[in-house]
Amino acid sequence: MHTLPAPAPLRTKLPDSEKITINLGYVDLGHVDLLVAEAFYSNRTDFIRTAIRNQLALHGDTLRQVVARKTLVLGLQHFSAADLEAVRRAGDKLDVRVLGLASIAADVTPELALETIASITVLGALHASGAVKAALAERIH
């Protein structure tokens, strides 16, 4: 009789981007399509990403100053149940400030989130269960 090896634990991969929707006037959209047709950009998304990156670069100094002043974490900030349990044991509460992606693990209960997160400010995206988002609704800025 053969036994099968235990399955490897599933790793949750966080997305590296967030989908957005924009409304664009017909003339502007036509200009974008013309640049795509002339092979300046591979598609509309490529054009939009490039335009956004150019604007961010143009305002780079201002963005760096604001990030430093507001003490924002840049990039990804993930909170596991173990992280929040440690905060609770220490008797602390977190003021979360993220520019990028703030992620609260699926096993974090609304009660644990309420006991450990005083406020949450995210410039970008917040990934958490619907129950945790609902519990923290008044603390999300």
Residues whose CB is less than 8 angstroms from the CB of residue 96 and which lie 6 or more positions away in sequence, other chains included:
77, 79, 102, 117, 119, 120, 121, 122
Higher pLDDT, 4 or 42: 42
Q: What is the pTM of this model?
A: 0.62
Taking only the tens place, the pLDDT of each residue in 40-77 is 999 999 999 999 999 999 999 998 888 776 668 888 99
Could you tell me which of 57, 42, 49 has the C-alpha nearest to residue 17?
49
Domain boundaries, the chain: 26-58, 64-139
Taking only the tens place, the pLDDT of each residue in 70-106 is 668 888 999 999 999 999 999 989 999 999 999 999 9
Taking only the tens place, the pLDDT of each residue in 123-139 is 999 999 999 999 999 99
CB 141 within 8 Å of CB 119: yes
Residue 3 has pLDDT above 80, yes or no: no
